[in-house]
Chain A
Amino acid sequence: MNEFRRAFLKLTGGAGALVVAAASGLLASGNAWSAAWNKEGFESKALADAMKSLGATNAVASKDIVITAPDIAENGAVVPIAVTSKIPKTESISIVAEKNPFPLAATFGIAAGADSYVSTRVKMGQTSDVWAVVKADGKYFVTKKEIKITVGGCG
């Protein structure tokens, strides 16, 4: 665990080499076969950039989005997060962990045949706000929830 922690601290401490290494790895292998993958968003290192890549810079806060997650997660490697959107015509749901090295964790495109609900498990490096970004009928809505992390899960 210490090993992971050290690597993580190095990363967040601004030693950009690791980040660059990770990013170039993605560049080399990611692009050729998956045009639709939001490379810009997933490589963003700041919340604002991640939001921008989603097109959600003018998103409106909404009470119709529910994030189901623990207030305190003991293990940052496995943080269960479920998002339910009660907004009609929900097209996509994104999960953004603000203080992760790469904040954007996932985007789920919801087709007509599925409920606007997704559940997954994400890694979180430290206590942070988690944002759920919902695109519905061309507009963007957000809500957030703070999740406290006891042991970081960047490894």
Chain B
Amino acid sequence: MSEPMRLRATLQGDVADVRILMRHPMETGTRKDAKGEIVPVHFIQSVTVNHNGKTVLEAQWSQAISRDPFLGLRVKGAKAGDKISVTWTDNKGDKRTDETTVAAPS
């Protein structure tokens, strides 16, 4: 099972600054393990970010994205308490969705 993402969405004016940290090995398929065997390619291919159920960002990734990927975006017209949900799918078909709410600026 995949580990939960760390999500943070903070309101700045009417824009929510969203920061997402996913947990994923993002193997390129070219690296070798201690035994000299190639570690199979394993990476997140697509990420969808929804704001109150409406898609605001759809990302397609290659294995060039760093391990434990970071994604930052800004959602317009957001209010405190709005829901931001993030779903990723990797090349093995594993999926994970996590959700957070937009926090008022502190």
List residues of chain A with CB under 8 Å of any chain B CB: 3-4, 7-8, 11, 18, 21-22, 25-26, 29-30, 33-34, 36-38, 42, 77-80, 82, 97, 100-102, 104-115, 117-124, 153-155
Contacts and interface: CB of A to CB of B under 8 A. Distances in A.
Given A37-B46, A108-B59, A111-B55, A123 B72 contact: no
A106 B60 contact: yes
Given A111-B55, A118-B72, A97 B28 contact: no
A26 B41 contact: yes
B14 to A, nearest CB: 11
Contacts of A26: 41, 91
Place the interface of chain B in its size category. 35 or more
B-side interface mostly: strand
11 contacts: A3-B31, A78-B66, A80-B70, A113-B75, A114-B57, A114-B75, A115-B75, A122-B64, A123-B26, A154-B28, A155-B31
A3 B57 contact: no
Contact of A118 (B71, B76, B93): B71
A7 to B, nearest CB: 5
Contact of B92 (A22, A29, A101): A29
